[in-house]
C-alpha cells in the first residue's frame, strides 16, 4: 500500500483516489463546456492546499489555460464572522479583461473565498468564477458566496490529504481522509 507511514494516522477515508479523479474529470468537462472554446482561462490556485487539485483539474480542461498563484491567510475566529484575509503572496499576472477561475481546496466558512473574489473583482476581470474541490455546507457563514463548481459536499470534519494538511503534513496522500483523533491532541 502506498504511503504506509501516513496511512497509519488516518481513521477513515472519505473520498478515494479513484473517486477524486473521476469527479475532477467531470468538473473539467463541465468547465470546458461552459466557456467559449477560444476562452483563455487563468486558473488561480489558492496556496497551498489547492495545488494537487489544480494540477489534476487543469489536465482535464480543454481550453488554453494559464496558472497563477495566490497565498492568503484567514484572520478572525469563530466569534468574529467579519474577519479579514491577508495576502501573503499576490498574483503575478494582470487579470484586467481576462477570465479568472479561482481554484480552492475547501470551503469552510466561506470567508477566504469571499475576500479573494471581492479583491479580484476590483481588478476588472472579464469574469470571476470559483471552483472548490470540497465544501462543508454546514459550516458556511457566507451564504452568498457563489461557487460555480463544487466537487464534493462533506460533513463538518477536519480532513487531510490531496493537498490538505495538518501542521503541513499529509498533503501527499492521494485521497481525502480524517485523521485519528489522538493526533490532534
61 vs 164, beta carbon nearer ligand 5GP: 164
| H or E segment to which residue 58 belongs | helix 51-58
14 vs 35, beta carbon nearer ligand 5GP: 14
Give CA angle at 162 (30, 140), nearest 5°: 70
Contact 42, 65 (CB under 8 A): yes
Burial of 166 (0-12, 13-18, 19+ CB in 10 A): middle
40 vs 80, beta carbon nearer ligand 5GP: 80
What positions carry a catalytic annotation? 108
The least CB distance from residue 109 to ligand 5GP, in Å, is 3
Q: How far apart are CA 46 and CA 44, in angstroms?
A: 6
52 vs 106, beta carbon nearer ligand 5GP: 106
The least CB distance from residue 178 to ligand 5GP, in Å, is 9
Half-sphere exposure of 138 (CA within 13 A, CB side): 5
The least CB distance from residue 38 to ligand 5GP, in Å, is 31
Enumerate binding residues for ligand 5GP (CB under 6 A): 49, 74, 104-112, 158-160, 164-165
The least CB distance from residue 112 to ligand 5GP, in Å, is 3
Amino acid at each position: 500500500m502506498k504511503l504506509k507511514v501516513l496511512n497509519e494516522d488516518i481513521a477513515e477515508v472519505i473520498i478515494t483516489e479513484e473517486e477524486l479523479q473521476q469527479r475532477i474529470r467531470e468538473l473539467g468537462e463541465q468547465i470546458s463546456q461552459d466557456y467559449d472554446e477560444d476562452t483563455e482561462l487563468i486558473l488561480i490556485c489558492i496556496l497551498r492546499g489547492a495545488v494537487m487539485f489544480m494540477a489534476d483539474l487543469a489536465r482535464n480542461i480543454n481550453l488554453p489555460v494559464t496558472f497563477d498563484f495566490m497565498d492568503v491567510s484567514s484572520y478572525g475566529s469563530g466569534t468574529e464572522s467579519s474577519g479579514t484575509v491577508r495576502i501573503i503572496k499576490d498574483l503575478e499576472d494582470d487579470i484586467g479583461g481576462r477570465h479568472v477561475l479561482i481554484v480552492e481546496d475547501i470551503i469552510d466558512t466561506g470567508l477566504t473565498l469571499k475576500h479573494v473574489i471581492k479583491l479580484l473583482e476590483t481588478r476588472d476581470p472579464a469574469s470571476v468564477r470559483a471552483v472548490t474541490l470540497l465544501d462543508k455546507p454546514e459550516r458556511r457563514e457566507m451564504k452568498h458566496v457563489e461557487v460555480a463548481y463544487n466537487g464534493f459536499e462533506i460533513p463538518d470534519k477536519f480532513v487531510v490529504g490531496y493537498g490538505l494538511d495538518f501542521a503541513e503534513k499529509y498533503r501527499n496522500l492521494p485521497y481525502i481522509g480524517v485523521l485519528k483523533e489522538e493526533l490532534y491532541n
